[in-house]
Amino acid sequence: MILKFLRLFKIIRVTLRYGIDEIAISGLKVPRTARLIETLLFWRDLSAPRGERLRKALEDLGPIFVKLGQVLSTRRDLMPPDIADELAKLQDRVPSFDPDLAVAQITKSLGAHPDELFASFNRVPVASASIAQVHFATLKDGREVAVKVLRPGMKDTIDKDVALMQVAAGWLEALWADGKRLKAKEVVGEFDKYLHDELDLMREAANGSQLRRNFQNSDLLLVPEMYWDYCSSSVIVMERMNGIPISQIDKLQAAGVDLAKLSRDGVTIFFTQIFRDGFFHADMHPGNILVSTDPATFGRYIALDFGIVGTLNDFDKDYLSQNFLAFFQRDYKRVAEAHIESGWAPKDTRVDELEAAVRACCEPIFDRPLKDISFGQVLLRLFQTSRRFNVEVQPQLVLLQKTLLNIEGLGRQLDPELDLWKTAKPYLERWMNEQVGWRGLMDKLKAEAPRYSHIFPQLPRLAHQALSRAGEQNNSNEMLAALLSEQRSTNTLLKVIIYFGGGLFAGVIAAQLLLHFYFIG
């Protein structure tokens, strides 16, 4: 309890120090309270931009809050652009934990000491983040591997910090005029799920295995193999990959890597994941990408860290392809119709109003040459427009937008002349052809053929059963109609008897009374 109170005190102190409360003051529903806060805390220097102050506050609060900031930076449909841009600068840098704790974690998870499991184990970590750190090792058969070890005590730390975040989110929604639209509680809930997913390293290993299988026969992307005999929820062991970090452009040029081709390949990999696989690496920042220098795989991308992936179903892919094609054909009416048809915009939304809003956002973008158009900016503008029309932005599309911005920025860093549309257009057109044309029809028939082969022999029996049930239903209906008719006749007869009997009884009583009075009189 004392530790929780001290943590809360630190959060309040950092919040006041960087003026995070001031960010919300303009939207407070009680202006007198806002003025009182400004008066009491007059001594603070709040000259720095609000986004910068928020970023520094999160960095001071530690790795869990840094991760929250990283998640918020992807929610550009909710966050103001200046804050989202500043939060995107957050880096997940934390000191490594004690190697003895790593050894203890490996021993507990895999049932043996690293000295027994590996021919060699480097106790000095090569990378450290808020959730885990990485050590290099060599298996007894000589294969070089990377060992990723979960940071001890992370679950308790996450649970405590997230509980405090939930309280803060409740205050935010209650006090800030724009708090409910920002969906503070929902964002914290999403963040909680995201963190707990990252705590299960087996999930990351499975994601990596899926991505490796998808690109098994590709000459564009390498994904490390997972060694399942050495994997658990808190330790995973994978193939060690050697390459140059993609952000080190000088070293890439010195090694003879074709940067223009590398840039185009990155875009091709992205759209292959989207429109072919519907499964994409959603954390493709430079720290997770290497370029192979091995002669056999020279110039290929190497993907690392599979804790965050996105998935798209056929409906999502159809939505994306239609919107991208409509955008670049400046068919804004089709964009508006697609949003309403998908159910992401309310059914009572006027197409012409949404069309006009989309046109106002995107027309300035398309007055530039195609090579200067940013796909990420197109999605960003679309998300910003969505605020006004209460469009429900899907989580998988938020991940996609974040990944697209990363890929696009990386591609143009490698090759400023990159024409993203020229690379993307064939994938969009091929997807539409596969879904709408004869090729799409034949592919779907082939995919359903095993199911049809099982159903077709049963059709005569199923038809007979359906007809028999229909006949029984008809007989039942006829019997029910006859019963209802008979019931109505019975009811009519009963009414006649009641009325006749009642009248006769009343007549008899009346006659008796008349006779009685007559004889008495």
Do 105 and 63 lie in one domain? The reply is no
Do 182 and 217 lie in one domain? The reply is no
pLDDT digits 0-9 by tens, 452-475: 666 667 667 766 676 666 565 555
pLDDT digits 0-9 by tens, 335-357: 888 878 777 677 888 888 888 88
Under the banding of pLDDT at 50, 70 and 90, the label for residue 228 is very high
Phi and psi at residue 135, to the nearest 5°: -120, 145
Asked whether residue 391 is assigned to any structural domain, the reply reads: yes
Asked whether residue 398 is assigned to any structural domain, the reply reads: yes
Asked whether residue 262 is assigned to any structural domain, the reply reads: yes
- According to DSSP, the residues that pair with 127 across neighbouring strands are 134
25 is in an annotated binding site: no
Do 271 and 179 lie in one domain? The reply is no
The domain that contains 248 carries what CATH number?
1.10.510.10
Do 69 and 17 lie in one domain? The reply is yes
237 is in an annotated binding site: no
For the chain, the average pLDDT equals 77
pTM above 0.75, yes or no: no
Asked whether residue 467 is assigned to any structural domain, the reply reads: no
Total number of domains in the chain: 3
Tell me if residue 135 falls in helix, strand or coil.
strand
Signed CA dihedral, 101, 102, 106, 107: sign only = negative
Domain edge (last residue) among 259, 293, 310:
310
Do 230 and 363 lie in one domain? The reply is no
Q: Which residues contact 303 (CB under 8 A, 6 or more apart)?
A: 211, 221, 222, 223, 281, 284, 288, 289
Under the banding of pLDDT at 50, 70 and 90, the label for residue 230 is very high
Do 166 and 244 lie in one domain? The reply is no
Per-residue pLDDT at 3 exceeds 70: no
- Measured distance CA(115)–CA(256) in Å, rounded: 39
Residue 249, both tokens: 């452009």
Under the banding of pLDDT at 50, 70 and 90, the label for residue 258 is very high
Asked whether residue 70 is assigned to any structural domain, the reply reads: yes
Asked whether residue 425 is assigned to any structural domain, the reply reads: yes
Do 354 and 426 lie in one domain? The reply is yes
Residue 50, both tokens: 């609000």
- Measured distance CA(64)–CA(83) in Å, rounded: 18
Domain edge (last residue) among 196, 219, 252:
196
Do 89 and 104 lie in one domain? The reply is no
* Helices and strands (DSSP H and E) totals, the chain: 22, 11
148 is in an annotated binding site: yes
Residues with a catalytic annotation lie at 283
Do 254 and 363 lie in one domain? The reply is no
Residue 334, both tokens: 């089709």
Under the banding of pLDDT at 50, 70 and 90, the label for residue 521 is very low
Do 182 and 80 lie in one domain? The reply is yes
Under the banding of pLDDT at 50, 70 and 90, the label for residue 225 is very high
103 is in an annotated binding site: no
131 is in an annotated binding site: yes
- pLDDT for the residue 520: 43
Asked whether residue 520 is assigned to any structural domain, the reply reads: no
64 is in an annotated binding site: no
Do 227 and 138 lie in one domain? The reply is yes
- pLDDT for the residue 517: 43
Output the CA–CA distances (angstroms, integers) from residue 353 to 349, 363, 364, 385, 388, in the order listed. 8, 15, 18, 11, 11
Higher pLDDT, 495 or 368: 368
Higher pLDDT, 107 or 276: 107
Output the CA–CA distances (angstroms, integers) from residue 128 to 77, 96, 134, 150, 323, in the order listed. 31, 5, 6, 10, 40
130 is in an annotated binding site: yes
Q: Smallest Cα–Cα separation from 381: which of 397, 357, 412?
A: 357
Higher pLDDT, 91 or 80: 80
Domain edge (last residue) among 279, 310, 341:
310
Q: What is the residue range of 64's domain?
A: 2-93+155-196
Q: Smallest Cα–Cα separation from 410: which of 272, 327, 326, 303?
A: 303
Q: Which residues contact 481 (CB under 8 A, 6 or more apart)?
A: none
Per-residue pLDDT at 113 exceeds 90: yes
126 is in an annotated binding site: yes
Asked whether residue 496 is assigned to any structural domain, the reply reads: no
Do 212 and 171 lie in one domain? The reply is no
